[in-house]
Chain A
Amino acid sequence: MQPFDPVNFRGQFAFFQHNPAWVYLDNAATMHKPNVVVDAMARFYQHNNSNVHRGAHTLSQQATQAFEQARDDIAAFINASARQQIIFCSGATAALNQIAFGLMHTVLRAGDRVLITALEHHANIVPWQIHCSQYGVILDIVPLTADYQVDQQAFTELLALKPKVVSFSHISNVLGHIQPVAQMVSQAKAAGALTVIDGAQGIVHDKVDVQSLDTDFYVWSGHKLYGPTGIGVLYGKTAALELLTPLFGGGEMISEVNFSHSLFNILPFRLEAGTPDIAGAIGLAAACNWIQKFNSEQVKSYKSMLLKQFFAGLNQIDGLDILSSPVHNAGIVALNVQGEHPADVAELLNQQTVAVRGGQHCAMPFFSLLGLAGAVRFSFAPYNTETDVATSLQALTQAVEILTA
């Protein structure tokens, strides 16, 4: 394991050499890719490209081996107990759709309940809504406390209604708040529910051990973990994955097909219809292998140091409404300039080459609850620098000046 050196770390991303002017603080939307990821994908296409699992030829066998090695690497990355528990899909959205659809046919019946929280991303709301309304399943929402944390007391009370599935995010994509996931999983399990964790923001922040977390499902997108877009992971305990009716039918996922019926293949292939994103899987595995080379505690403490500096700077700027709490925060700060629309603030930052997101961050219900048009979101990564923090604070000060002049 290497000690974490921020300059060396940032140096591994060609993006920053090509875009020296930009302060990139939109990491919660997507992260940049280290050269090892881009190289691994280029190498696959240039040297090994072939389809997997079906070729009679050696090239296909080599591609299959590389693809399945990626599965092994990712299984090890989250400490899954078996390789077939890693299902490749296009991202967290696809995974959540597969879970919502898949459980609706096997576990959930009319009158059953599913529990989510008021902090969820649309990807953990809409799939449930679509399928719940079709199957007569009731969707309950855990409300938030006054400081925008998931109300744990309400969570306990809603668990008493015996939901069959409880689905929540590891880390809020809007606020950066880290949920007490281990405790929530154990409570949900005690209530007899299957647990689903949306790890889109969580996987990059902390070492995730799915066995000690004991969750039934944990899903994430590769592109928010230094990996390529278009690939993601649906992790499930074997028994939980067996409960899923495949959302997609097609090649690879069957063992026998005739015109009257088909027999499904075994896991993981049953849930991976069609040619998978082979290069994407290889790229994502390269990202997982790469990040594990760094001391994760040092990475985390560097990021929290940046966050602390940023919060300290924000306190010097008048007229801000800061929505995120600095405590239990994974590096995301949502705020508003009082009385101003977030789109205006984000645009004035954009003019100063500071990349942030302004809007509702795929969490419209959350902002409706607050009666806000949205927020400006600054999200940090370990390749950000102290200069990035200072520059973004200056840019925000300038934006406030222009807006309130």
Chain B
Amino acid sequence: MTLDQLLTDTKPALSQIYAEDLPELTQAKDWQSKYRILMQLGRKLPPIPEKMKQPSLLVKGCESRAWLMHYYNQHQDQHFFVLDSEARIVKGLMAIMLSLVNGMSNTELKKFELAQAFDKLNLKPYLSQSRGSGLNAMMARIKDCCH
């Protein structure tokens, strides 16, 4: 497995999450359905193989461990990411986050506000503070990839 392959596999998963799962999630009527969808979402992202999980990829500030890999396409000014988490709910939420920012230009990514975006999707109430802080740590790490 290479970063290229992971990026290639992640892209269609994120499009599907954005187009199909997100609307389903926002319409789910009870918390059980919501969490079932979240966990399925997480499963759609290809996992980062154990031996690629270098300590430098580890995102601190999460209750559970999470990892982030990045690629910047200079010609097209686009940021692409691959991420993984050992906790499934967190991975689902991070997948949603990634579906919103993957492929953004440098300027777009710099301007992106996670709280606002989640608010718009009515997802904010489902973020508890501690899990929220893990997401924020991941978002901060994603933004660190900007130049």
Contacts and interface: CB of A to CB of B under 8 A. Distances in A.
Interface of A: 340-341, 343-344, 347-348, 350-351, 358-359, 373, 398, 402-403, 405
Interface in B61-119: 63-65, 86-90
Contacts of B128: 347, 350
Given A344-B39, A402-B32, 10 more contacts: A340-B88, A341-B86, A341-B88, A343-B90, A344-B87, A347-B89, A348-B89, A359-B63, A402-B35, A405-B36
Q: Is the interface of B mostly helix, strand, loop or mixed?
A: helix
B93 to A, nearest CB: 10
Interface in B31-77: 31-32, 35-36, 39, 63-65
Contact of A351 (B35, B64, B87, B88): B35
13 contacts: A341-B88, A343-B63, A343-B64, A343-B89, A343-B131, A344-B88, A347-B89, A348-B89, A373-B64, A373-B65, A398-B32, A402-B39, A403-B39
A403 B88 CA distance: 9
Nearest to A373: B86
A302 B131 CA distance: 35
A358 B90 CA distance: 14
A204 B141 CA distance: 42
B63 A344 contact: no
B11 to A, nearest CB: 26
A359 B64 CA distance: 8
B89 A344 contact: yes
Contacts of A341: 64, 86-88
B134 to A, nearest CB: 9
Contacts of A402: 32, 35-36, 39
A343 B35 CA distance: 13
A214 to B, nearest CB: 41
Most buried by B among A347, A358, A402, A403: A347
Given A341-B86, A402-B36, A403-B39, A347 B31 contact: no
A301 to B, nearest CB: 35
A403 B87 CA distance: 11
A359 B87 CA distance: 11
A196 to B, nearest CB: 30
